[in-house]
Structure 1
Amino acid sequence: MIGLEGLGDLRIGQAPPAGGSWAERGAQTSGACRTVSSPRYPGVYAIVSGGKVQRITVGQRSDVKLAEGLGVGATERDVKKWFGGFREEPHKYEKAPAKYLTAPNAASGGPAVRFEIGRDGKVSLIHIGLMPVLAYVEGCS
Protein backbone atom coordinates (compact mmCIF):
# COMPACT_ATOMS: atom_id res chain seq x y z
CA MET A 1 0.00 0.00 0.00
CA ILE A 2 1.26 3.48 -0.90
CA GLY A 3 0.50 6.62 1.09
CA LEU A 4 1.64 10.22 1.41
CA GLU A 5 4.60 9.05 3.49
CA GLY A 6 5.86 6.66 0.81
CA LEU A 7 5.94 2.98 -0.16
CA GLY A 8 7.56 0.32 2.01
CA ASP A 9 10.94 1.60 3.18
CA LEU A 10 11.01 4.33 0.51
CA ARG A 11 9.97 7.63 2.13
CA ILE A 12 9.03 10.93 0.50
CA GLY A 13 11.58 13.61 1.45
CA GLN A 14 14.22 11.10 2.59
CA ALA A 15 17.18 9.44 0.89
CA PRO A 16 16.50 6.01 -0.65
CA PRO A 17 17.32 3.39 1.99
CA ALA A 18 20.93 2.20 1.89
CA GLY A 19 21.31 -1.48 1.15
CA GLY A 20 17.65 -1.82 0.16
CA SER A 21 16.11 -3.04 -3.06
CA TRP A 22 15.68 0.48 -4.52
CA ALA A 23 18.42 1.24 -7.04
CA GLU A 24 19.10 2.89 -10.38
CA ARG A 25 18.32 0.39 -13.12
CA GLY A 26 19.19 2.04 -16.41
CA ALA A 27 16.50 4.70 -16.12
CA GLN A 28 17.13 8.44 -16.07
CA THR A 29 20.19 9.41 -14.14
CA SER A 30 22.11 12.64 -13.79
CA GLY A 31 23.81 14.51 -10.99
CA ALA A 32 20.67 16.50 -10.25
CA CYS A 33 17.95 13.92 -10.79
CA ARG A 34 17.71 10.15 -11.08
CA THR A 35 15.08 7.45 -11.00
CA VAL A 36 15.15 4.32 -8.89
CA SER A 37 13.04 1.19 -8.92
CA SER A 38 12.74 -2.05 -6.99
CA PRO A 39 12.06 -5.61 -8.21
CA ARG A 40 9.72 -5.90 -5.20
CA TYR A 41 7.39 -3.32 -6.81
CA PRO A 42 7.07 -3.92 -10.57
CA GLY A 43 5.69 -0.89 -12.43
CA VAL A 44 6.75 1.58 -9.72
CA TYR A 45 9.61 4.07 -9.87
CA ALA A 46 10.76 7.00 -7.77
CA ILE A 47 12.36 10.31 -8.71
CA VAL A 48 15.29 11.27 -6.49
CA SER A 49 16.51 14.87 -6.58
CA GLY A 50 18.96 16.48 -4.18
CA GLY A 51 19.55 13.01 -2.76
CA LYS A 52 15.96 12.69 -1.53
CA VAL A 53 12.85 10.98 -2.87
CA GLN A 54 10.65 13.67 -4.41
CA ARG A 55 8.01 11.48 -6.08
CA ILE A 56 6.88 7.88 -6.34
CA THR A 57 4.94 6.85 -9.46
CA VAL A 58 2.68 3.79 -9.67
CA GLY A 59 2.32 2.63 -13.28
CA GLN A 60 0.54 0.15 -15.52
CA ARG A 61 2.26 -3.04 -14.38
CA SER A 62 1.70 -2.36 -10.68
CA ASP A 63 -0.89 -3.70 -8.27
CA VAL A 64 0.08 -1.16 -5.56
CA LYS A 65 -2.97 0.69 -4.23
CA LEU A 66 -3.78 3.60 -1.96
CA ALA A 67 -5.43 2.90 1.42
CA GLU A 68 -8.76 3.77 -0.23
CA GLY A 69 -8.29 0.77 -2.53
CA LEU A 70 -7.63 2.89 -5.62
CA GLY A 71 -4.95 1.80 -8.05
CA VAL A 72 -4.14 1.95 -11.74
CA GLY A 73 -7.32 1.06 -13.64
CA ALA A 74 -9.71 2.68 -11.15
CA THR A 75 -12.31 4.95 -12.74
CA GLU A 76 -12.25 8.74 -12.56
CA ARG A 77 -15.63 8.44 -10.82
CA ASP A 78 -14.08 6.29 -8.07
CA VAL A 79 -11.24 8.79 -7.63
CA LYS A 80 -13.69 11.69 -7.31
CA LYS A 81 -15.75 9.73 -4.79
CA TRP A 82 -12.74 9.59 -2.47
CA PHE A 83 -10.98 12.79 -3.55
CA GLY A 84 -13.69 15.29 -4.46
CA GLY A 85 -11.87 18.63 -4.38
CA PHE A 86 -9.01 17.80 -6.72
CA ARG A 87 -7.91 20.37 -9.31
CA GLU A 88 -8.43 19.26 -12.93
CA GLU A 89 -5.89 20.12 -15.61
CA PRO A 90 -5.71 19.05 -19.26
CA HIS A 91 -3.30 16.21 -20.02
CA LYS A 92 -0.10 17.31 -21.77
CA TYR A 93 -0.01 14.44 -24.31
CA GLU A 94 -3.49 12.93 -24.51
CA LYS A 95 -6.66 14.57 -25.78
CA ALA A 96 -9.65 15.15 -23.50
CA PRO A 97 -11.20 13.59 -21.58
CA ALA A 98 -7.65 12.67 -20.41
CA LYS A 99 -6.55 14.90 -17.54
CA TYR A 100 -4.60 15.30 -14.34
CA LEU A 101 -6.36 15.39 -10.97
CA THR A 102 -4.12 17.03 -8.36
CA ALA A 103 -4.69 17.38 -4.62
CA PRO A 104 -5.61 20.92 -3.59
CA ASN A 105 -2.83 20.90 -0.96
CA ALA A 106 -0.09 20.10 -3.51
CA ALA A 107 1.33 23.64 -3.49
CA SER A 108 1.59 23.71 0.32
CA GLY A 109 4.99 22.03 0.33
CA GLY A 110 3.93 18.72 1.86
CA PRO A 111 3.41 15.37 0.13
CA ALA A 112 0.36 15.20 -2.13
CA VAL A 113 -1.26 12.88 -4.65
CA ARG A 114 -1.83 13.39 -8.39
CA PHE A 115 -3.76 11.05 -10.68
CA GLU A 116 -3.37 10.79 -14.45
CA ILE A 117 -6.68 9.89 -16.06
CA GLY A 118 -6.53 8.41 -19.56
CA ARG A 119 -8.94 8.99 -22.44
CA ASP A 120 -10.80 5.87 -21.28
CA GLY A 121 -11.72 7.59 -17.99
CA LYS A 122 -9.44 5.34 -15.92
CA VAL A 123 -6.37 5.99 -13.79
CA SER A 124 -3.23 5.38 -15.85
CA LEU A 125 -0.67 6.61 -13.27
CA ILE A 126 -0.67 7.63 -9.61
CA HIS A 127 1.99 10.02 -8.32
CA ILE A 128 2.76 10.71 -4.65
CA GLY A 129 5.27 13.42 -3.89
CA LEU A 130 6.34 17.01 -3.50
CA MET A 131 5.91 19.91 -5.90
CA PRO A 132 7.31 20.81 -8.35
CA VAL A 133 8.46 17.22 -9.05
CA LEU A 134 4.94 15.90 -8.41
CA ALA A 135 3.82 17.66 -11.61
CA TYR A 136 6.72 16.58 -13.85
CA VAL A 137 5.40 14.90 -17.00
CA GLU A 138 8.60 13.31 -18.34
CA GLY A 139 10.45 11.62 -15.51
CA CYS A 140 13.00 14.17 -14.31
CA SER A 141 11.41 17.12 -16.12
Structure 2
Amino acid sequence: MRHIAAFAAPALLALSLAACSGPGPADGTSPTDGASATDAVEAVPSARPTPAAAASEASPAVPAANVIGLEGLGDLRIGEAVPRGSSWTERGAQAGDACRTVSSPAYPGVYAIVEGGKVRRITVGARSDVKLVEGVGVGASEAEVKKWFAGFREEPHKYEDAPAKYLTAPNAASGDPALRFEIGSDGKVGLIHVGTMPVLGYVEGCA
Protein backbone atom coordinates (compact mmCIF):
# COMPACT_ATOMS: atom_id res chain seq x y z
CA MET A 1 0.00 0.00 0.00
CA ARG A 2 2.88 2.34 0.80
CA HIS A 3 4.22 1.83 -2.77
CA ILE A 4 0.82 2.65 -4.30
CA ALA A 5 0.46 5.80 -2.21
CA ALA A 6 3.97 6.91 -3.11
CA PHE A 7 3.20 6.46 -6.79
CA ALA A 8 -0.26 8.07 -6.64
CA ALA A 9 0.88 11.36 -5.08
CA PRO A 10 3.22 12.45 -7.94
CA ALA A 11 0.67 11.27 -10.50
CA LEU A 12 -2.12 13.31 -8.96
CA LEU A 13 0.21 16.33 -8.80
CA ALA A 14 1.05 16.00 -12.49
CA LEU A 15 -2.63 15.74 -13.48
CA SER A 16 -3.44 18.79 -11.37
CA LEU A 17 -0.69 20.86 -13.05
CA ALA A 18 -1.82 19.74 -16.49
CA ALA A 19 -5.38 20.81 -15.74
CA CYS A 20 -4.27 24.24 -14.54
CA SER A 21 -2.08 24.93 -17.56
CA GLY A 22 -4.82 24.15 -20.06
CA PRO A 23 -4.37 22.67 -23.55
CA GLY A 24 -1.23 23.68 -25.48
CA PRO A 25 -0.71 24.12 -29.20
CA ALA A 26 -1.51 21.13 -31.43
CA ASP A 27 2.18 20.46 -32.05
CA GLY A 28 2.80 20.05 -28.35
CA THR A 29 5.13 23.03 -28.00
CA SER A 30 4.83 25.62 -25.26
CA PRO A 31 3.43 29.09 -26.22
CA THR A 32 6.67 30.61 -24.98
CA ASP A 33 9.07 28.06 -26.55
CA GLY A 34 12.02 30.05 -27.97
CA ALA A 35 10.80 33.34 -26.45
CA SER A 36 11.23 34.99 -23.08
CA ALA A 37 8.44 36.26 -20.85
CA THR A 38 9.36 39.79 -21.90
CA ASP A 39 8.90 38.85 -25.56
CA ALA A 40 5.46 37.47 -24.79
CA VAL A 41 4.41 40.72 -23.10
CA GLU A 42 5.74 42.89 -25.94
CA ALA A 43 3.85 40.78 -28.47
CA VAL A 44 0.60 42.30 -27.11
CA PRO A 45 -0.32 45.40 -29.18
CA SER A 46 0.57 48.53 -27.25
CA ALA A 47 -1.89 51.38 -26.67
CA ARG A 48 0.94 53.90 -26.81
CA PRO A 49 0.95 56.13 -29.92
CA THR A 50 3.52 55.51 -32.61
CA PRO A 51 6.33 58.09 -32.93
CA ALA A 52 4.60 59.58 -35.97
CA ALA A 53 1.29 59.86 -34.14
CA ALA A 54 2.97 61.37 -31.10
CA ALA A 55 4.71 63.97 -33.27
CA SER A 56 1.41 64.80 -34.94
CA GLU A 57 -0.31 65.28 -31.58
CA ALA A 58 2.50 67.55 -30.39
CA SER A 59 2.48 69.77 -33.48
CA PRO A 60 0.51 73.02 -33.09
CA ALA A 61 -2.46 73.50 -35.37
CA VAL A 62 -1.75 75.69 -38.37
CA PRO A 63 -4.25 78.57 -38.55
CA ALA A 64 -6.41 78.74 -41.66
CA ALA A 65 -5.35 81.30 -44.26
CA ASN A 66 -8.72 83.10 -44.10
CA VAL A 67 -8.76 83.62 -40.32
CA ILE A 68 -8.01 87.09 -38.95
CA GLY A 69 -6.91 87.70 -35.37
CA LEU A 70 -5.73 90.55 -33.20
CA GLU A 71 -2.19 89.91 -34.40
CA GLY A 72 -3.14 90.35 -38.06
CA LEU A 73 -3.94 88.39 -41.20
CA GLY A 74 -1.48 86.03 -42.86
CA ASP A 75 1.93 87.70 -43.04
CA LEU A 76 0.43 91.15 -42.43
CA ARG A 77 0.89 92.05 -38.76
CA ILE A 78 -0.61 94.86 -36.72
CA GLY A 79 2.14 97.23 -35.55
CA GLU A 80 4.68 95.99 -38.09
CA ALA A 81 5.78 97.14 -41.54
CA VAL A 82 4.27 95.56 -44.64
CA PRO A 83 6.50 92.52 -45.36
CA ARG A 84 8.86 93.03 -48.27
CA GLY A 85 8.12 90.80 -51.22
CA SER A 86 4.57 90.08 -50.00
CA SER A 87 1.45 90.47 -52.13
CA TRP A 88 0.33 93.45 -50.03
CA THR A 89 0.94 96.68 -51.91
CA GLU A 90 -0.56 100.09 -52.60
CA ARG A 91 -3.17 100.14 -55.35
CA GLY A 92 -4.98 103.11 -56.86
CA ALA A 93 -4.90 106.72 -55.70
CA GLN A 94 -3.84 107.43 -52.13
CA ALA A 95 -5.30 110.09 -49.85
CA GLY A 96 -1.88 111.36 -48.77
CA ASP A 97 1.61 110.43 -47.70
CA ALA A 98 0.87 110.21 -43.98
CA CYS A 99 -1.74 107.50 -44.37
CA ARG A 100 -1.64 104.81 -47.05
CA THR A 101 -3.77 101.76 -47.84
CA VAL A 102 -2.59 98.39 -49.12
CA SER A 103 -4.43 95.34 -50.41
CA SER A 104 -3.65 91.88 -51.72
CA PRO A 105 -5.18 89.78 -54.53
CA ALA A 106 -4.99 86.84 -52.13
CA TYR A 107 -7.60 88.53 -49.91
CA PRO A 108 -10.35 90.12 -52.01
CA GLY A 109 -12.43 92.63 -50.07
CA VAL A 110 -9.69 93.27 -47.48
CA TYR A 111 -7.49 96.35 -47.12
CA ALA A 112 -5.07 97.63 -44.51
CA ILE A 113 -4.20 101.13 -43.32
CA VAL A 114 -0.52 102.00 -42.93
CA GLU A 115 0.60 105.00 -40.86
CA GLY A 116 4.14 105.82 -39.84
CA GLY A 117 5.36 102.92 -41.93
CA LYS A 118 3.43 100.34 -39.89
CA VAL A 119 0.13 98.52 -40.28
CA ARG A 120 -2.41 100.13 -37.96
CA ARG A 121 -5.65 98.52 -39.09
CA ILE A 122 -6.93 95.68 -41.25
CA THR A 123 -10.49 95.90 -42.56
CA VAL A 124 -12.56 92.96 -43.83
CA GLY A 125 -15.29 93.99 -46.28
CA ALA A 126 -18.29 92.61 -48.11
CA ARG A 127 -16.46 90.60 -50.79
CA SER A 128 -14.32 88.73 -48.29
CA ASP A 129 -14.70 85.26 -46.77
CA VAL A 130 -12.14 86.08 -44.06
CA LYS A 131 -13.52 85.39 -40.58
CA LEU A 132 -12.52 85.55 -36.95
CA VAL A 133 -11.55 82.27 -35.30
CA GLU A 134 -15.00 82.24 -33.66
CA GLY A 135 -16.51 81.94 -37.15
CA VAL A 136 -17.91 85.48 -37.20
CA GLY A 137 -17.56 87.18 -40.56
CA VAL A 138 -19.20 89.78 -42.75
CA GLY A 139 -22.91 88.98 -42.95
CA ALA A 140 -23.17 87.62 -39.39
CA SER A 141 -26.01 88.97 -37.28
CA GLU A 142 -25.55 91.44 -34.45
CA ALA A 143 -26.85 88.74 -32.10
CA GLU A 144 -24.11 86.38 -33.21
CA VAL A 145 -21.48 89.05 -32.60
CA LYS A 146 -22.78 89.70 -29.09
CA LYS A 147 -22.88 85.98 -28.37
CA TRP A 148 -19.09 85.86 -28.72
CA PHE A 149 -18.16 89.46 -27.87
CA ALA A 150 -20.12 90.76 -24.92
CA GLY A 151 -19.54 94.22 -23.41
CA PHE A 152 -18.59 95.99 -26.65
CA ARG A 153 -19.23 99.74 -26.65
CA GLU A 154 -22.12 100.80 -28.93
CA GLU A 155 -22.12 104.00 -30.99
CA PRO A 156 -24.59 105.20 -33.65
CA HIS A 157 -23.41 104.70 -37.21
CA LYS A 158 -22.30 107.89 -38.95
CA TYR A 159 -23.89 107.15 -42.33
CA GLU A 160 -26.66 104.59 -41.80
CA ASP A 161 -29.90 104.64 -39.86
CA ALA A 162 -30.53 102.52 -36.77
CA PRO A 163 -30.13 99.72 -35.99
CA ALA A 164 -26.82 100.46 -37.74
CA LYS A 165 -24.03 101.06 -35.23
CA TYR A 166 -20.39 100.56 -34.31
CA LEU A 167 -19.43 97.91 -31.75
CA THR A 168 -15.97 98.51 -30.33
CA ALA A 169 -13.99 96.29 -27.94
CA PRO A 170 -13.68 97.72 -24.41
CA ASN A 171 -9.87 97.40 -24.51
CA ALA A 172 -9.51 99.57 -27.62
CA ALA A 173 -8.61 102.69 -25.62
CA SER A 174 -5.58 100.92 -24.12
CA GLY A 175 -3.72 101.12 -27.43
CA ASP A 176 -3.57 97.34 -27.79
CA PRO A 177 -4.90 95.67 -30.96
CA ALA A 178 -8.68 95.45 -30.70
CA LEU A 179 -11.85 94.60 -32.63
CA ARG A 180 -14.48 96.91 -34.07
CA PHE A 181 -17.60 95.83 -35.95
CA GLU A 182 -19.79 97.95 -38.22
CA ILE A 183 -23.40 96.78 -38.09
CA GLY A 184 -25.54 97.86 -41.04
CA SER A 185 -29.16 98.98 -41.07
CA ASP A 186 -30.09 95.35 -41.80
CA GLY A 187 -28.69 94.31 -38.42
CA LYS A 188 -25.77 92.41 -39.95
CA VAL A 189 -22.00 92.88 -39.93
CA GLY A 190 -20.90 95.05 -42.84
CA LEU A 191 -17.25 95.52 -41.90
CA ILE A 192 -14.81 94.04 -39.39
CA HIS A 193 -11.80 96.08 -38.27
CA VAL A 194 -8.76 94.85 -36.34
CA GLY A 195 -6.18 97.41 -35.24
CA THR A 196 -5.16 100.10 -32.79
CA MET A 197 -6.67 103.45 -31.92
CA PRO A 198 -7.09 106.06 -33.24
CA VAL A 199 -6.89 104.39 -36.67
CA LEU A 200 -9.25 101.63 -35.56
CA GLY A 201 -11.97 104.27 -35.24
CA TYR A 202 -11.51 105.90 -38.65
CA VAL A 203 -14.85 105.91 -40.50
CA GLU A 204 -13.61 106.76 -43.98
CA GLY A 205 -10.51 104.75 -44.70
CA CYS A 206 -7.64 107.10 -43.87
CA ALA A 207 -9.94 109.64 -42.21
Q: Classify the TM-score, shorter chain.
A: over 0.9
- 2:73 maps to 1:7: yes
| Residues 27 and 34 in structure 1, CA contact (< 8 A), matched pair in contact too | no
- Give me the CA root mean square deviation: 0.7
TM-score by length of 2: 0.67
Larger radius of gyration: 2
Cα offset for 1:27?
A: 4.5
> What one-letter code is carried by the residue in structure 2 that aligns with 1:127?
H
Q: Which deviations, in whole Å up to 9, do the C-alpha atoms of 1:66-125 show, x marking residues without a partner?
A: 000000000000000000110000000001110000000000010000000001000000
Residue type at the aligned position of 1:120: D
Aligned residue pairs total: 141
1 or 2, which has the higher strand percentage? 1
**Residue 104 (structure 2) aligns with:** 38
Q: How far off its partner does 1:31 sit?
A: 1.5
Gaps of 5+ in 1: none
Q: How does 1:1-141 map to 2 (within 5 A)?
A: 1-141=67-207
SS of match in other structure, 1:134: helix
| Identity between Structure 1 and Structure 2 (%) | 80
Q: In the alignment, residue 43 of structure 1 is paired with which amino acid? A: G
Q: Which runs of 5+ in 2 are unaligned?
A: 1-66
Distance 2:164 2:94 in 1: 26
Q: TM-score, normalised by structure 1?
A: 0.98
Task: Name the structure with the higher helix share.
Answer: 2
**Partners of 1:53 and 1:20 in 2: CA distance:** 14
Equivalent residue letter for 2:172:
A
Alpha-carbon spacing, 1:27–1:84, altered in 2? closer, same or farther (3 Å): farther
Q: How big is the shift at 1:30? A: 2.1
Q: Could you say what secondary structure the match of 1:34 adopts?
A: strand
